[in-house]
Structure 1
Amino acid sequence: MFVRKSAPLNLVIDEPWLEKYSDKISLRWSKYQSAIQEIENFCGDILEYGSNHHFYGIHFESWRNGWVYREWAPAAEALYFFGDFNNWDRQSHPMKKNPRGDWEIFLPFDQYKDTFVHGSKVKVHVIGANGALDRIPVYITRVIQNEETHDFAGQVWFDSPFPWTDQDFSLAESRKQPLIYECHVGMAQEKLGVGTYLEFEQNILPRIKSAGYNTIQLMAVMEHPYYGSFGYHVSNFFAPTSRFGSPEELKSLINTAHKMGIAVVMDIVHSHAVKNVNEGINEFDGSDHQYFHAGPKGYHEGWDSKVFNYSKREVQQFLLSNIRYWIEEFHMDGFRFDGVTSIMYVHHGLFMDFDNIDLYFDSNVDDDAILYLQLANTLIHKLKPQSISIAEDVSGMPGLSRKIEDGGIGFDFRMAMGVPDYWIKTLKHKQDEEWDMFELWHQLSNRPIKEKSIAYAESHDQALVGDKSLAFWLMDKEMYFSMSLLQQNLVVDRGIALHKLIRMITLSLGGEGYLTFIGNEFGHPEWVDFPREGNNWSYQYARRQWSLADDPLLRYGQLAAWDKSMIQLAKDFQVLASQHARQLHLDPDKKILAYERAGLIFVFSFHPTESFSGFAIQVPWTGSYQLILDSDEKEFGGFERLDTSTTFLTNENQCLLLYIPNRTMMVLKQKD
């Protein structure tokens, strides 16, 4: 039983600027309490509430000795189950409807044991207000595409229990400071084609382990009809995409990641769904409002997709069941929720700057959607307490990654989406001499003390065609001709130096977690562009060229070595799990910035040309310091201007006198 709290909640206490909105934040908490009480009265608890996938879909019922298929389609006039088990006869197997809008059919084992078998292809013929259409069962767990007709169909998948060996896997390290490797299985290989779960397990997981990352974020897992959507136009929410292999092969990938000590977070898309009628769930029962809002409210103009109606109990249960399914069936360790801004606001954040605090609490906030996110986080952490939930939100919604009882929404982390935007704008619009150290410090350090952020310099968003990766912004066409160790190029020298500094300052200053996109850690050239008509269906840019990083004569390996050392430093000293950094020195003219975090002294020089000798940096503690990492080492593509064996002593002003070369950074540690 929940006891209602009186205002102010901890979120308001910790953030006094929210006092004006204390009543609305308290109302958010009260609405959640009421919803939990209603759920308990309705079915016992939230885990049972999120278990629809055990009822709907295709299941073998031993007590009846046969298979049952159920579907929720309240507005439909008739449903017929068909497939290769009945020679694709659309009329021979009608389903029966109950008063709740559930349809059901039973297939006795003795009658169908030879035709309704593992791998059988199935569909459901739905007659409704939109006509008579062949549809894919909503809760189907596997969907395949006919290579000749390109038509999609559900597939019966009677998999045997997977032999999991990850019982001893611990999420403690990943939860404490997630070092996330964002990746896409299909484009992870170097070949001109679609990669598989097995290839990823065998070829890519060892690379991620060697690079030091403790978490992978898997994109495009849920089935989607158009490969080029990057997996964000989902059609079948309970089906891992068959493009990459079988469900067992995905389980094997996850099991192997766990054996390597790597957590697996899934990119989950509950912000919208593909509008396709043939492949997806849109208009399944013939209406436009079964899972989505009716009329224009149910259409996302920016994404050309459908918007869920989070106020409906059946929609809540569908989405919560989807979360439970991926955790239970595939041992997912958490989720990165895509498009949370779109979920939380009626306007979906389109054309909004969020430059006014009132925008977080006005009538454009979808309170039902906020409640759904709270319920989702409750289910996740009740089912798997150490799991990780991450919100992708550009609005800056207060309390997004605070506890629900504090007045928050319950995520563990939020994506620091302003950071990559800041870097791209800086590289696009400012000369090196114009970089503002005050602005840099503000952009990377200005975040609520009690809301954890995932910092990143770039993700897949910045790598898509039409934009450029950081490496490409820095070096552009020179990456094609001048990345050899046997030649020197000023553009490449600048690019490599800044690439290292940007990533290190983002990691060490910007958040409580860190993320990179697959291949970008070594400066992968070019953009990401999936096969489409506009590029003659080419896979040239939908792959990762690992051979560039592996070639000892190319400079990509130097960036990879820096990234590995940077990640190792974060792990050795628990940098991201430490308190926010405290600024020690900021010189806007000399473009030097120094701060302390996790007991380490970070010193950056963004000056394009000048180096400084005897530069005084006041440090928190007297004594001697040693240099433990610097970006100017030769193995990282630097010029070896620093002596790593030097011991630095504080003077009478508690300052270290340092030689600081241009475009370098160094990390110092007090000697024992």
Structure 2
Amino acid sequence: MLDIIKKDPWLSPFRQRIEERRNHFLRKEQELTQNGKIGLSDFATGYLYFGLHKTDAGWVFREWAPNATEIYLIGTFNNWQREEAYRLTRVENGVWEIRIPLDSIRHLDLYKLFVCWEGGSGERIPAWCRRVVQDAQTHIFSAQVWEPDNPYVFRITDFKPDTSPLLIYECHVGMATAEEKVGTYNEFRENVLPRIREAGYNAIQLMAIQEHPYYGSFGYHVSNFFAPTSRCGTPDELRQLIDAAHEMGIAVIMDIVHSHAVKNECEGLARFDGTYDQYFPSDPTRRNHPLWDSFCFDYGKNEVVHFLLSNCKYWMEEYRFDGFRFDGVTSMLYYSHGLGESFTKYDDYYDGGQDSDAICYLTLANKLIHQVNPNAITIAEEVSGMPGLGLKIESGGFGFDYRMAMNIPDFWIKTIKERKDEEWSPAAIWWEMTNRRLDEKTISYVESHDQALVGDKTIIFRLIDSDMYWYMSKLMESSYRVDRGMALHKMIRLVTATTINGGYLNFMGNEFGHPEWIDFPREGNNWSHKYARRQWQLADDQNLKYHYLSDFDRAMIGLIKSVPDFQLTPVVKIWEKESDNVLAYMREKLLFVFNFNPIKSFSDYGMLVPEGEYGIVLNTDNPEFGGFGLNDDTVHHFTHRDPLYANEGKGWIRIYLPARSALVLKRL
């Protein structure tokens, strides 16, 4: 019996479905590896064969286009004309090839394919091209030759991510600048990476790396899967960024999009060879994503699996990414894309509406990634709660290292919007923070980029709203909303980050309460970058209160890192009282006490804890973090012996708990 069923007997009725899923993967792996004659990593090397390559003998270019009748290579080197010398030859299995003398093509030349098929033709950007640029005047995208005389050479070649725990700073390079423009890889490396190191995070998750024609898609409408976006700089500048992060001890995770592709025909994969079903399903209802206005991949086609697996290996080998956060996994798992589904019972996961080919691909991808780099990190963005997503493949799982705890940000938004402060429930908070499958690691977070997009609000803006514009200065009187918002902002982050069983994620700037929302340049805002940037100066200005939140976040991350393998330590509930709005729990020697009550402070609040002496190591109400300083953090607390619990080594600790504050005490 598979471990996934042993660990969760409620899965027993679905044993056949789970075993079928695993057998599907095993059969496909055998097929792709020629019954084990080659490794999965050897199979995923399409980027070394397809596309444009410079060799000692000349240039060689290959493309897969089974429906094409003629293909020409056109570009600045032949004045964009279809010439016989640049006509490709069909070789086998729908593959086209051309060999060109070395002096015919040069570094930075622009090029495309002119593809002909029965009844039509069109210009196409090669599917495997490694760089795509946009003309500043015409806005037309073209592939670009990237073969510099002195390519970047990595200095760090043996980096190993620190996952004890994994502390992720989610980033978008383009909007990481304070200026109203698109930021660059170099600016990020020079200005933002040092901030992340100082804040204590040990990983960054880079969004919008794969080229996408519309900047406002946040990088999720990918057109060119092997090309790092040229908006932010050159491929070598991205390599230099990743190398610098590794030098700082920071892992680099890529937000990879294999769940769908942009519909654009001139830039992307759509109708590449004149057909809709080259990379995508022939059935329009399966091909079209009804919510995202994009095309879904046909994961049952070996050529598509080859393309996507090669894409995973390419980013790891060519750029040294340390792993991937797979976007839109729920959409991949189900034919319904999870839309309108409740997922309230196990039957919902195994009712026949699952895309077995997509599930097989995800399992293959996880196996490949960990073959290429055993220390690689894979994270699933998945909302349905599909069992086994974060379990090892041999246990009957999908092989992801982590899954996103997507219930947590939804819980915080719902709580802030719908509950009065005095109704904040310690039981509900505890349940949401710790409600997870015990055998699967999760990434907990209060808010990612999703919660800050236009039409929504960041947590800090929900709490403080328009008072952020008037009362965040330390030089003027504060407001109740600012005091309340800052207090809850710290408490919400502390309870989320310190109940993790895997890792914690924060979107850049949210740690210091970056104001307002995210809105990319578009026609509706007159193509403004005002809300597509990060105002770092707010956190740097000691006359403003933002730095209090940033300082607290740094102290919180430092506390978590002070405990070896913090994420593996048991989370033991100590106290929970609804009428008081008080919650307490322990991890090793750390005692976390939260008073969510908006008006009541408690003197000598008692609870049973392991006997000993305790000192305050973190206090959300400390004036250093913008609090009122109602506790003396230098005072140590001693437990009082209770004969009833003496045999258990427990005693009563009595603490002063100011309203809307949290304390972390350490048993000395």
Q: What secondary structure sits across from 2:121 in the alignment?
A: strand
Q: 1:51 aligns with which of 45, 50, 61?
A: 45
Letter in 2 for 1:223: E
TM-score of the superposition, structure 2-length normalised?
Answer: 0.97
Query: Does structure 1 residue 79 correspond to structure 2 residue 71?
Result: yes
Q: Determine the structure 2 residue equivalent to 1:267.
A: 255
Say if 2:617 and 2:664, in contact at 8 Å, map to a contact too: yes
Partner in structure 1 of residue 592 of structure 2: 602
Question: What amino acid is aligned across from residue 115 of structure 2 in structure 1?
Answer: V
Q: How much has 1:90 moved relative to structure 2?
A: 2.2
Pick aligned residue for 2:481 from 473, 486, 491: 491
Please tell me whether the aligned partners of residues 82 and 122 of structure 1 are also in contact (alpha carbons under 8 angstroms). Answer: yes
Corresponding residue to 1:96 among 89, 103, 107: 89
Mapped contact 1:221–1:267 kept (Cα < 8 A): yes
270-279 or 347-356: bigger deviation: 347-356
Offset, 1:35? 2.0
In structure 2, what is the equivalent of residue 668 of structure 1? 665
1:569 matched to which residue of 2?
Answer: 559
Q: Work out which of the residue numbers 205, 215, 230 in structure 2 matches 1:217.
A: 205
Unaligned stretches of 5+ in structure 2?
A: 643-650
How far, CA to CA, are the matches of 1:639 and 1:574 in structure 2?
31
Give the alignment of 1:579-618 within 5 angstroms: 579-618=569-608
Q: Deviations over 1:48-95 (max 9, x none)?
A: 111111111011233xx1111100000112111111111111243221
**TM-score, normalised relative to structure 1:** 0.96
Deviation at 1:348, TM superposition (A): 0.6
What is the CA deviation profile of residues 138-160 of structure 1, one whole-angstrom value per residue up to 9, with x for unaligned ones? 11100000111110000011134
Residues 504-525 of structure 1: CA distance to partner in whole angstroms, max 9, x if unpaired?
1000114420000010000000
- Cross-structure match for 2:647: none
**Aligned in 2, Cα 1:129/1:273: closer, same or farther, shift over 3 Å?**
farther
Equivalent residue for 1:250, pick from 229, 232, 238 = 238
RMSD of aligned residue pairs (Cα, Å): 1.2
2:11 alignment counterpart: 18
Q: Secondary structure at the match of 1:176?
A: coil
Q: Which amino acid aligns with 2:269?
A: I
Question: Which residue of structure 2 aligns with residue 61 of structure 1?
Answer: 55
- Partner of residue 431 from structure 2, selected from 427, 436, 442: 442
After superposition, give the CA deviation of every residue in 1:184-222 in whole Å (9 maximum; x if it has no partner).
000000001010000000000000000000000000000
Q: What secondary structure, in the 3-state scheme, does the structure 2 residue paired with 1:274 have?
A: coil
Identity rate of aligned residues, in percent? Answer: 50
In 1, Cα distance between the equivalents of 2:278 and 2:34? 24
**Which residue of 265, 268, 280 maps to 1:280?**
268
Per the TM alignment, residue 163 of structure 1 is displaced from its structure 2 partner at its CA by 1.8
Relative to structure 1, is the Cα distance of residues 180 and 453 closer, same or farther in structure 2, using a 3 angstrom cutoff?
A: same
Query: Shift of the alpha carbon at 1:405?
Result: 0.8
> C-alpha offsets along residues 590-622 of structure 1, whole Å, 9 cap, x if unaligned?
000000113311100100000001111111x21
Aligned residue type for 2:454: V
Classify the secondary structure of the residue corresponding to 1:641: coil
Q: How does 1:157-176 map to 2 (within 5 A)?
A: 157-159=146-148, 160-171=150-161, 173=162, 175-176=163-164
* Stretch deviating more after TM superposition (462-471 or 288-297): 288-297
Q: Does 1:625 align with 2:614?
A: yes
State the 1:580 CA deviation: 4.0
Query: Residue 233 of structure 2 aligns to which amino acid in structure 1?
Result: G
Q: Is the 8 A contact 2:50 2:128 kept in 1?
A: yes
1:130 shift after superposition? 6.4
1:562 and 1:631 in contact (8 A); partners too: yes
SS of residue matched to 2:506:
strand
Aligned counterparts of 2:538 and 2:3: Cα–Cα separation in 1: 50
Which of the residues 273, 286, 293 maps onto 1:297? 286
The aligned residue for residue 646 of structure 2 is none
Alignment of 1:503-514 (within 5 A): 503-514=493-504
Higher alpha-carbon deviation: 486-495 or 474-483: 486-495
Following superposition, the deviation at residue 96 of structure 1 comes to 0.9
> Does the 8 Å CA contact 2:164/2:565 hold for their aligned counterparts?
no
Shift of 1:362: 1.6
Q: Which residue of 2 aligns with 1:3?
A: none
Aligned length: 655
2:397 corresponds in structure 1 to 408
Aligned equivalents of 1:576 and 1:447: distance in 2?
17
SS in 2 for 1:506: helix
Q: Secondary structure at the match of 2:20?
A: helix
Query: Would the aligned equivalents of 1:284 and 1:290 in 2 still touch at CA under 8 Å?
Result: yes
| AA in 2 matched with 1:568 | G
Letter in structure 2 aligned against 1:667: V
1:34 pairs, out of 15, 24, 27, with 27
Is 1:118 equivalent to 2:107 in the alignment?
yes
The whole-number CA distance in structure 1 between the counterparts of 2:159 and 2:41 is: 23
The match for 2:648 is none
Whether contact under 8 Å (1:513, 1:576) holds in the other structure is no
Residue aligning to 1:193 = 181
CA contact (8 A) 2:490 2:552 kept: yes
Residue aligning to 1:659:
656
Q: Structure 1: any 5+ residue segments left out of the alignment?
A: 1-7
* Maintained 8 Å contact 2:443/2:502: yes
Partner Cα separation in structure 2 for residue 398 and residue 29 of structure 1:
13
